[in-house]
Chains A and B, each alone.
Chain A
Amino acid sequence: MKAKDRRLAELRSSITEVSPAEALELQQKGAALIDVRDTEEVVQGSPENAHRLGRSFLELRIEDAVPDLDKTLCVMCAGGVRSMFAAEALKRLGYKDVRSIAGGFSRWKNEGHPFETPTFLSSEDRERYARHLTITDVGEAGQLKLLDSKVLLIGAGGLGSPAAYYLAAAGIGNLGLVDHDIVDRSNLQRQILHTEARVGMPKVESAKIALEALNSSINITTYETHLDSSNVEDIFSNYDIIVDGTDNMATRYLINDACVKLGLPNVHGAVYRFEGQLTVFWPAYEKQGTGCYRCMFPEPPPPELSPSCAEAGVLGVMPGILGLLQAVETIKILLDIGEPLVGRQLHYDALTTQFTMLKTRKNPSCRYCGEGAEFPGYDDYAQVCASNA
């Protein structure tokens, strides 16, 4: 008898074996299913909701996956042998009720129990996003989620430049860009997506060149169009989240109204001279009641009173900071980490380097997001200002 067989026989007397059917029943009652096979095996299929920890890092990773030592663990490998050794290791680590699934995944599959074919990062993506994988708030599952996300940026200008750059770099799998403008030399002081050589080119085209040079593995969709009530829903309905990078009042209301109607989070940023503000409008947010842009400003001011105008001065780096803050909020919402800036508005004064937080309130009688409000339709306001921040 080989040493491993002798040891296996010993283990069978101390580790309880369960059938796949029993394991599934235990899982449904709250037990954790631990798949200890290698990645190449797991990609062929793995039980739904299993913790795919592999064998080599099992002891190092188990506590992040299952912190409760009293929880029942059902360990799975391909045929039921490796899982015995893994179960023993987990018992020694302090888990009180550890069982091995007899027959492993092959029997699980043959008996027709539910499984899925999970996706993993490619080895190149594992390197590219290495600094995200070491953050517990992101990790492999989070990075896969980002790669599967769809983010729409309105404006490839001052706010959109840094937001798009970092969202592309961070691996947002599908980025949409809406802008009808062309690159002007006076943009380059703050719109870092564009270059001197691309002056005169449509901004979305210039942006796509810059973003693909940084990260060609993501999908970039460009909309060289003016956003209006006739196209807003068609475009927005393809995305999970909208980043408002316009300083155009009419478009800002349109974005708000469409986001309210479609239930999308609206990550809102704005800059003026040495000041900037950031908030997330998301009336459909389940965790917290929150209002929309119209709760604060029910109607746009007349053009002559609008503070937002192409010719207002702005320090180049101001939209940079605000666009980056928008990118962070976007990732937080996509991954459901931390506390998103809903119901709060951050104000930044660059001249004094003061950040102030204000509470924002929902207006219960808001025409768009108030209680029982029925969508009143889009208002096509006259353009106040044609240029992006």
Chain B
Amino acid sequence: MDDKQLDRYSRQILLPEIDIAGQEKLLRSRVLIIGAGGLGSPAALYMAGSGIGHILINDHDTVDISNLHRQILHRTSAIGHSKTTSAIKTLHELNPDIKITAISQKLDRDALQILLDEVDAVVDASDNFPTRYALNSACADRRKPLISGAVIKMEGQVSVFRHDLTGYPCFECLYSRHDHEASNLNCSDLGILAPVAGIIGSIMATETIKVLLSLNGTLAGRLLLLNAKNMIFRSVKLHKDPHCPVCSINPPIQDQNLGKLCH
């Protein structure tokens, strides 16, 4: 690290759990964020600030005025522009020291798998079930940790799916595809209290950093639930589904078309 970097990351280097070695590890890390919206905004900003060396951010959408009540990566002047272009600009202004790659096309299964081979962790900041299933399945295939979050109205949830380790439940152990695959439910349509998205996105960033630094105590095997109305956080234990089509030892034959639904 040069002097500028030592200055920039000084408050993190002071933490014994991070130190110079941990900060260098973060600077060598590569994270793929799917979604530059309500969850992706705070997650990307805090990961950029913390010095994750290479952030790849995927979104095919353009900035709409209704995004701006919670998507702090974007500005009024970016309305109509691609979200990834807008995101790159904001992230670089905060931290010109890191590499940021914009991916603004929809990813099919093959493109997603190629990308996964280049990264250390994946952040699911998408807003729909088809993308979530496709990501979970691709992460299982490429053995990449998946940090996943969701918000609706004044509630939110976060978990970490350790596809890189054995014995942990995955997204599909939690949500059966049969129940949700056809769902067109888009959480943001039902409304979101602006900073609740911020809380969940920031917790996702924290969990990602912990995964990258190999710190214990992540949300692997647990689901964190927030009800912001009374500000109660609960953590529930997740169980591995022995018949999970994605992560069980002898899964049923997978639906090869699923990847095409991805974001």
Contact = CB atoms under 8 A, between A and B. Distances in A.
Given A170-B69, A195-B93, A346-B231, 10 more contacts: A130-B66, A131-B188, A132-B69, A134-B190, A189-B12, A190-B50, A215-B68, A317-B209, A325-B199, A351-B17
B97 to A, nearest CB: 8
B205 A313 contact: no
Interface size class of A (residues with CB under 8 A): 35 or more
14 contacts: A128-B65, A129-B66, A131-B66, A132-B194, A170-B194, A192-B72, A195-B93, A315-B206, A317-B206, A320-B45, A327-B194, A352-B217, A353-B206, A355-B224
Interface of B: 4, 7-18, 42, 45-47, 49-51, 65-66, 68-72, 74-77, 93-96, 153-154, 188-196, 198-199, 202-203, 205-207, 209-210, 215-219, 222, 224, 228-233, 235
Interface in A336-378: 337-339, 341, 344, 346, 350-355, 357
Interface string A270-294: 0001100010000000000000000
Given A189-B51, A195-B93, A320-B42, A124 B65 contact: yes
Nearest to A340: B231
A138 interface: yes
Interface in A318-340: 318, 320-321, 324-325, 327-329, 331-332, 337-339
A169 B12 contact: no
A135 B197 CA distance: 14
Nearest to A198: B93
Interface in A169-190: 169-171, 185-186, 188-190
Interface string A98-136: 000000000000000000000000001001111111110
B100 to A, nearest CB: 14
A315 B49 contact: no
Contact of A166 (B17, B50, B72, B231): B72
Contacts of A170: 69-70, 193-195
A185 B69 contact: no
Given A127-B66, A314-B11, A353-B222, A192 B46 contact: yes
A328 B197 CA distance: 10
A315 B15 contact: yes
A315 B9 CA distance: 10
A134 B230 contact: no
A131 B66 CA distance: 7
A336 B252 CA distance: 50
Interface string A295-324: 000000000000000011111111011001
Contacts of A192: 45-46, 49, 72, 94
A162 B42 contact: yes
Contacts of A352: 217
A234 interface: no
A315 B50 contact: yes
Contacts of B191: 131-135, 138
B202 A131 contact: no
Nearest to B23: A189
B206 A350 contact: yes
A303 to B, nearest CB: 19
Given A186-B8, A316-B50, A325-B231, A166 B195 contact: yes
Contacts of B76: 213-216
A359 to B, nearest CB: 14
A334 B64 CA distance: 27
Nearest to A335: B193
A313 B14 CA distance: 5
A338 B230 contact: yes
A95 interface: no
A169 B8 CA distance: 27
Given A131-B70, A197-B93, A353 B195 contact: no
A313 B230 CA distance: 30
Interface string A65-88: 000000000000000000000000
